[in-house]
Amino acid sequence: MSLTVVGSVAFDALETPFGKRERVLGGAATHFGLSASFFTKVNAVGVVGGDFGDEEWVVFKRHSINTDDVEVVPDGKTFFWSGRYDYDMSTAHTLDTQLNVFETFDPKLSENSKSARLLFLANILPMLQKQVREQMPNAKFVAMDTMNFWISSMKDALIETIKIVDCIIINDAEARQLTDEASIHVAARKIMDIGPKAVVIKRGEYGAVLFTRGGYFVVPAYPLEIVFDPTGAGDTFAGGFMGYLASQDAITDDVLRRAMIYGSVMASFNVEKFGTERVDALDYPEINERFKAFKTMTHFDDIPFEKAANA
């Protein structure tokens, strides 16, 4: 089954306590697409400038990602973001943002992209997300991302988009901001009241939580001794999550729960090196071994406590 992602393809400049990169491949559609490509066929929809060269295209080709709908503006420059992380890796300090060709991004979907069974709307203007969703009325499962800027500046438009998707994947601060609720449990219920059947709330180093109308499921973050670069971890999580869903015949609560584990598995690899370096070099045995590790560290025996008679 195929999966279409619409979002940014970019260059990033990154600095963390563990090193520095002046220009690496990045962008939401890139991180998502690489992650999802281990599970399903991926169509990427985005825009780049003439500075996007063979070295970048070959990464997509290596993972059999269809880039026919990545528009090239020959005389333009690719979206660029520069950021710094201190030892608190949960906070990115933006040093520079150059939208370049992404500023006038107008997603154009071919019939191939439109025919995909699943759709992921990465972090772009809510109106563009809605426009893309309406171009794919037959998609069986649609998920979206957003950010605090859209929540504060275009909340009404954002809610109109949330109404027509099946799942939203956001972090805990965004969930609270969107609903004006302190509790993520209450926030998730309020978001589902808008329309989605599922809400995934990312909690950084504390993992992620899946809320559905049938209950909730918590997955921890994989314990890593060193996190080199968290850039793109959320999109990599979404790629693993949606990629696994696309590989399944039906999407049930049990399937959604397994997808949460695969999302966390893929995100844990992403942060081990800069940019796309680690996920680009991944192989299936590594993914399966880490999936087993997640299963082991979350397993416990179902033995109810009984108070001793003489206690």
Nearest one of 48, 45, 56, 64 to 5, comparing CA atoms: 45
Kindly give the interhelix angle for 253-270 and 28-36, rounded to the nearest 10 degrees.
120
Q: How would residue 304 be classed by pLDDT, with cut points 50, 70 and 90?
A: confident
Report the Cα 186 to chain-centroid distance in Å. 23
Residue 247 near residue 118 (C-beta atoms within 8 A): no
Q: State the Cα–Cα distance between residues 156 and 165, nearest whole angstrom.
A: 15
Q: What is the mean pLDDT of residues 20-35?
A: 96
Q: State the Cα–Cα distance between residues 229 and 75, nearest whole angstrom.
A: 31
Return the amino acid letter for 20.
Answer: K
Q: State the Cα–Cα distance between residues 11 and 78, nearest whole angstrom.
A: 7
What single DSSP character describes residue 137? Answer: T
Q: In what order do the strands lie in the sheet with 10-16?
A: 19-26, 10-16, 79-85, 92-98
Q: Which domains does the chain have, with CATH numbers?
A: 2-297 (3.40.1190.20)
Q: State the Cα–Cα distance between residues 29 and 26, nearest whole angstrom.
A: 8
Residue 159 near residue 151 (C-beta atoms within 8 A): no
pLDDT in tens, 221-246: 999 888 889 999 999 999 999 999 99
Residue 259 pLDDT greater than 90, yes or no: yes
Percentage of the chain modeled with pLDDT above 70: 99
Residue 70 pLDDT greater than 90, yes or no: yes
State the pLDDT at residue 214: 87
> Which one has a higher pLDDT value, 299 or 176?
176
Q: State the Cα–Cα distance between residues 243 and 237, nearest whole angstrom.
A: 10
Model pTM score: 0.95
State the pLDDT at residue 155: 96
According to DSSP, the residues that pair with 26 across neighbouring strands are 10
Q: What is the mean pLDDT of the chain?
A: 94
pLDDT in tens, 128-156: 999 999 999 999 999 999 999 999 999 99
pLDDT in tens, 75-134: 999 999 999 998 877 788 999 999 999 999 999 999 999 999 999 999 999 999 999 999
In 50-91, beta strands by DSSP E: 66-73, 79-85
Residue 135 φ/ψ, nearest 5 degrees: -80, -15
The DSSP-derived string for 152-208 is HHSHHHHHHHHTT-SEEEEEHHHHHHHHT-S-HHHHHHHHHHHS-SEEEEE-GGG-E
- Cα-Cα-Cα-Cα dihedral sign, residues 273, 274, 277, 282: positive
Residue 124 near residue 6 (C-beta atoms within 8 A): yes
State the pLDDT at residue 311: 61
pLDDT in tens, 49-66: 999 999 999 999 999 999
For the chain, report the end-to-end CA distance as a whole number of angstroms.
58
Return the amino acid letter for 169.
Answer: I
Residue 33 near residue 62 (C-beta atoms within 8 A): no
Give 24: exposed, middle or buried? Use CB within 10 Å, 0-12, 13-18, 19+.
buried
